[in-house]
């Protein structure tokens, strides 16, 4: 096969460069022709994927974390919504949540799946708001989790502590907000803390946000956390690692094909770990939209 690899050299605390070099060697040893392009700025891989999806390639490989996947897939969709060639996933980030649903445990697993050449259809989520539209392959959230991510980014110079700082600040100032939403035609109103719309089971590495989600069932799993105290919230967060948060009385779980959300005030969005757009939003599933090596 003739493959194009799009790599984030800064992925996984700057491990991306070394992982890319190793991946090129391993794929070429297996008889494949592979070219690599490194990202040099945010949004760069969107531009490259939009152009190259129509090139003479047998597949495009995204090497990095969930954010790299987000850029590459949205670029492919921008260049050709029919997605004529498959996607390969080479995890090299800190989270790599989506790769776990492909059964990828190690770098060698990912190489073998791509080299074998077999593909499987995978669903995408599509989100539209007043100021943007995009697709996501892993998860889309707003509310507490997204607010923490946005706050943590502003403290990124603190390294691994930035997320802890974000949790502390957002929890200290915790406030629920009015939320109106529709799920497959059913209308609801809630006093909300966060909403997470999942295509795959995991987020942030090993947090099992949607234990029963499947990447090829034609549905999105919606997890909604409603008003609760600060102490109750802090006790809830560890439960996500076991997937037992769904048993809490403040948590609701839906599966759906289409949905819309309106919050007061508008809330920032975090698709696949990126920060872009705000509510209100309309979301729908694109069943089997992309073929993935696996």
Q: CA 259, CA 7: separation in Å to the nearest integer? A: 33
59-64 and 139-143: which strand pairing? unpaired
Instruction: Give the pLDDT confidence score for residue 155 in this predicted structure.
Output: 81
Please report, rounded to a whole number, the percentage of residues in the chain having pLDDT higher than 70.
Answer: 98
- Measured over the CA atoms of residue 66, residue 135, residue 71 and residue 156, the dihedral's sign is negative
* Mean pLDDT, rounded, of the chain: 93
Report how far apart, in Å, the C-alpha atoms of 281 and of each of 138, 153, 268 are: 17, 23, 11
Q: Token pair of 38, please?
A: 């490194």
Considering the segment(s) 133-288 as one domain, its CATH architecture is Sandwich (2.60)
List every span in the chain annotated with CATH 3.40.50.10330: 2-117
List every span in the chain annotated with CATH 2.60.200.40: 133-288
Report how far apart, in Å, the C-alpha atoms of 252 and of each of 193, 224, 278, 291 are: 12, 5, 22, 31
The phi, psi pair for 197, rounded to 5°, reads -110, 110
What is the tens place of the pLDDT at every residue in 6-55? 999 888 667 778 899 999 999 999 999 999 999 999 999 999 999 999 99
- Cβ atoms within 10 A of the Cβ of 277, count? 22
Q: CB-based contacts of 283: which residues, under 8 Å, 6+ apart?
A: 125, 126, 127, 128, 140, 197, 220, 258, 259, 260, 261
97 pLDDT band (50/70/90 cuts)? confident
Tell which wins on pLDDT, 94 or 127: 127
Instruction: Give the pLDDT confidence score for residue 160 in this predicted structure.
Output: 65
Q: CA 22, CA 59: separation in Å to the nearest integer? A: 19
What is the tens place of the pLDDT at every residue in 45-87? 999 999 999 999 999 999 998 889 999 999 999 999 999 999 9
Instruction: Give the pLDDT confidence score for residue 17 in this predicted structure.
Output: 82
Q: Tell me what the mean pLDDT of segment 120-149 comes to.
A: 95
What is the tens place of the pLDDT at every residue in 200-257? 998 877 789 999 999 999 999 999 999 999 999 988 888 998 999 999 999 999 999 9
Q: Token pair of 49, please?
A: 């994927």
Instruction: Give the pLDDT confidence score for residue 168 in this predicted structure.
Output: 87
Three-state secondary structure call for residue 278? strand
- Cβ pair 37, 5 in contact under 8 A: yes
Coarse DSSP helix, strand, coil percentages of the chain, rounded to the nearest 5 percent: 35, 35, 30
The answer as to CATH 3.40.50.10330 being correct for domain 2-117 is: yes
């Amino acid at each position: 096969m003739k493959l194009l690899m799009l790599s984030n050299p800064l992925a996984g605390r700057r491990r991306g460069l070394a992982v890319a070099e190793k991946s090129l060697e391993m794929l070429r040893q297996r008889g494949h022709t592979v070219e690599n392009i490194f990202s040099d700025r945010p949004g760069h891989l969107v531009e490259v994927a939009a152009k190259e999806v129509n090139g003479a390639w047998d597949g495009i490989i995204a090497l990095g974390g969930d954010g790299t996947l987000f850029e590459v897939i949205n670029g492919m969709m921008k260049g050709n919504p029919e997605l004529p060639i498959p996607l390969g996933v080479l995890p090299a980030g800190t989270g790599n949540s989506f790769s776990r649903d492909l059964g990828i445990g190690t770098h060698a697993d990912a190489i073998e799946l791509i080299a074998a050449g077999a593909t499987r259809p995978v669903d995408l989520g599509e989100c539209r708001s007043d100021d943007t539209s995009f697709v996501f392959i892993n998860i889309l959230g707003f509310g507490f989790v997204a607010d923490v991510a946005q706050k943590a980014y502003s403290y990124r110079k603190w390294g691994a502590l930035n997320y802890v700082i974000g949790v502390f600040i957002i929890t200290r100032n915790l406030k629920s907000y009015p939320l109106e939403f529709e799920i497959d035609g059913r209308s609801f109103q809630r006093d909300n803390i966060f909403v997470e719309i999942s295509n795959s089971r995991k987020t942030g590495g090993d947090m099992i946000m949607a234990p029963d989600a499947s990447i090829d069932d034609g549905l999105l799993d919606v997890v909604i956390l409603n008003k609760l105290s600060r102490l109750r919230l802090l006790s809830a967060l560890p439960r996500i690692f076991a997937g037992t948060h769904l048993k809490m009385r403040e948590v609701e779980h839906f599966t759906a094909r289409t949905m819309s959300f309106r919050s007061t005030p508008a809330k920032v969005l975090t698709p696949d770990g990126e920060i872009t757009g705000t509510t209100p939003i309309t979301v729908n599933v694109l069943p089997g939209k992309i073929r993935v090596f696996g």
